[in-house]
Amino acid sequence: MAKKRVLITGGAGFLGSHLCDRFLKEGHYVIAMDNLITGDLRNIEHLFKHPDFEFYHHDVSKFVHVPGELDYILHFASPASPIDYLKIPIQTLKVGSLGTHNLLGLARAKKARIIIASTSEVYGDPTVHPQTEEYYGNVNTVGPRGVYDEAKRFQEAITMAYHTFHGLETRIVRIFNTYGPRMRLNDGRVLPAFIGQALRGEDLTIFGDGSQTRSFCYVDDLVEGIYRLLMSDYAQPVNIGNPSEITIKEFAEEIIKLTNTTQKVVYKDLPKDDPKQRQPDITKAKQILGWEPKVSRAEGLKITYEYFKSLPKEVLYLRDHKSFDGYNK
């Protein structure tokens, strides 16, 4: 394929940085954009010497200007953990709504194809299991997750409107729980929470009775699915995730084994509107993209644990988000 110019928003984040790596590996020119609220330059510092890589420090909720041509836009900017939604709810709403609108406008101006990162959260606390793309979801609009879930639902709606009304080439990926190196250690998500606790010698905190389920996908598998979806001609939403489902209690036991910690589990209150079960139905991804995950949880967790162990010790004790009120304007 001829060299393409690719814009990746959220490029310094967990998924965004892996996407930068992938598109550079495919021989493309990559512009990463990030406001660094939850992203981290350490995720892309290895790319700064790359001749086909540029970084723009910009908040996509404001007008986005990129000089020159663009072939692909990947909109992956957004806080993505329940703790972030509580701390920066208004930014979360703005990046999914205003940010998406700006990027759709940019895609139109540049005649670029755009893929937007949606989420299993559009299904809310699902009453259909596993979740197919046809399920409309069960979301509490005014609950703590509403700011993320509704921003992402709006994002899908406006993306589809640009597709049907303006004929824009759009793709929508519904991402299920994903893990791997470069996850933020202190973002509150269950995997970094458990591994961080094991490394600090603390007990592992299970929320609720631990009977709620999640299905965890290793990041390389996810990136492959996203790449294939972008290259396909399918404009309807597609679930990408690993259907291997596990309860949070069993997951804690796996982490205890993996890290060899002598710590125990302790039980805390279940956060409001915490989905009881989650598993992607990936029939569409299999049929349309010929995609399915390849990395087992055992393999993926080992790689991820090695990454967290290799971080400087101070990172284990860092707190996220300085209390800067500007984020919620």
Which helix (H) or strand (E) covers residue 56, if one does?
strand 53-57
Interaction of residue 92 with ligand UDP, rule CB under 6 A: no
Interaction of residue 175 with ligand UDP, rule CB under 6 A: no
From CA 233, how far away is CA 309, in angstroms rounded? 41
Q: Active-site residue 148, yes or no? A: yes
Say whether 224 sits in a helix, a strand or coil: helix
Nearer to ligand UDP, 168 or 193 (CB): 193
Residue of the chain from 11, 79, 82, 99 that contacts ligand UDP (CB under 6 A): 82
From CA 129, how far away is CA 43, in angstroms rounded? 35
Nearer to ligand UDP, 31 or 37 (CB): 37
Interaction of residue 56 with ligand UDP, rule CB under 6 A: no
From CA 233, how far away is CA 210, in angstroms rounded? 40
Stated length of the chain = 329
Residue of the chain from 212, 215, 239, 259 that contacts ligand UDP (CB under 6 A): 212
Interaction of residue 169 with ligand UDP, rule CB under 6 A: no
**In Å, what is the CA distance from 308 to each residue of 19, 200, 215, 316, 317?**
20, 11, 21, 9, 13
Tell me phi and psi for residue 75, to 5 degrees: -95, 95
Q: Residue 175 in contact with residue 120, Cβ under 8 Å?
A: yes
Tokens 């597609």 belong to residue: 238
Contact window for ligand UDP (CB under 6 A) among 19-27, 131-139, 182-190, 318-326: 182-190
Catalytic residue among 29, 72, 148, 179: 148
Nearer to ligand UDP, 20 or 210 (CB): 210
Q: Residue 283 in contact with residue 239, Cβ under 8 Å?
A: no
* Structure-block tokens of residue 179: 């893990």
Interacting positions 236-265 with ligand UDP (CB under 6 A): 248
Nearer to ligand UDP, 64 or 196 (CB): 196
Interaction of residue 271 with ligand UDP, rule CB under 6 A: yes
Residue of the chain from 207, 234, 254, 315 that contacts ligand UDP (CB under 6 A): 207
Nearer to ligand UDP, 191 or 285 (CB): 191
Sign of CA dihedral 54, 57, 61, 67: negative
From CA 247, how far away is CA 254, in angstroms rounded? 11
Contact window for ligand UDP (CB under 6 A) among 11-19, 105-113, 167-175, 189-197: 189-197
Interaction of residue 171 with ligand UDP, rule CB under 6 A: no
Interaction of residue 81 with ligand UDP, rule CB under 6 A: yes
From CA 195, how far away is CA 217, in angstroms rounded? 17
Residue of the chain from 168, 206, 238, 255 that contacts ligand UDP (CB under 6 A): 206
Q: What are the residues binding ligand UDP (CB under 6 A)?
A: 81-82, 177, 188-190, 193, 205-207, 212, 214, 248, 271, 274
| Catalytic sites, residue numbers | 148
